[in-house]
Homo-oligomer: A and B are copies of this chain.
């Protein structure tokens, strides 16, 4: 029986694909390229930041990655398009299965947490936008840790803020690298594999794999 559940945010709870739709509406036929490069460079810049020891916050990284993505997609990023895309990033909807899964879990006394690469301000904006205040405690942003997942520090910081031990905590994420990082720190890892992709990351596989958050309750009850 798990006593706590920690979630990744972008791509796990927050529907990043909304950025693709907005990009496509702004730049028909180029939105997919812009979206894909934007997300790819976000991760690359965050990891380069941690690997080189030169910390840059995720909002700075997100804005810089957008500049790169627009150039790569060969679109002219006007000031208003830039504002619209960044505003969309702050106000992403959650996936349709999020609220339905969270309500009974929170009601049963489980501690729910978020450990994200976003800054605390970014996370609070998106949580408020989706009217999910009060569900998650702690909400840990990368600006508190100044080191990006999957380095050990964020997971260790999470462990210190939970009442349950990592071995009694489910760590739910859509990202293979996040499964690997949480696993190293002793969490029970759940890979949210919404698109049925193969597991190919070398090394430890997830403890569990689900296709949607509706499959979480049985995992909570399992030992």
Chain A interface residues (CB < 8 Å from chain B): 40-41, 43-45, 47-54, 56, 60-61, 64-65, 67-68, 71-72, 148-152, 176-177, 180-181, 184, 197-198, 200-204
Which of A44, A45, A48, A72 is the most central at the interface, judged by chain B CB atoms within 10 Å of its CB?
A: A48
Q: How often does this chain occur in the complex, in copies? A: 2
B52, B67, B151: the one contacting A198 at CB < 8 Å is B67
CA distance A176 to B41 in the complex (A): 11
Give 6 pairs: A residue, B residue, CB < 8 Å, sorted on A. A41-B200, A47-B51, A47-B177, A51-B177, A56-B203, A65-B200
Looking at chain A's contact residues, the main secondary structure is helix
Whose C-beta in chain B lies nearest to the C-beta of A180? B52
The reply to whether A202 and B56 contact each other, CB–CB distance below 8 Å, is yes
What residues of chain B lie closer than 8 Å to A198, measured between beta carbons? Answer: 67-68, 71
CA distance A204 to B71 in the complex (A): 20
CA distance A107 to B30 in the complex (A): 47
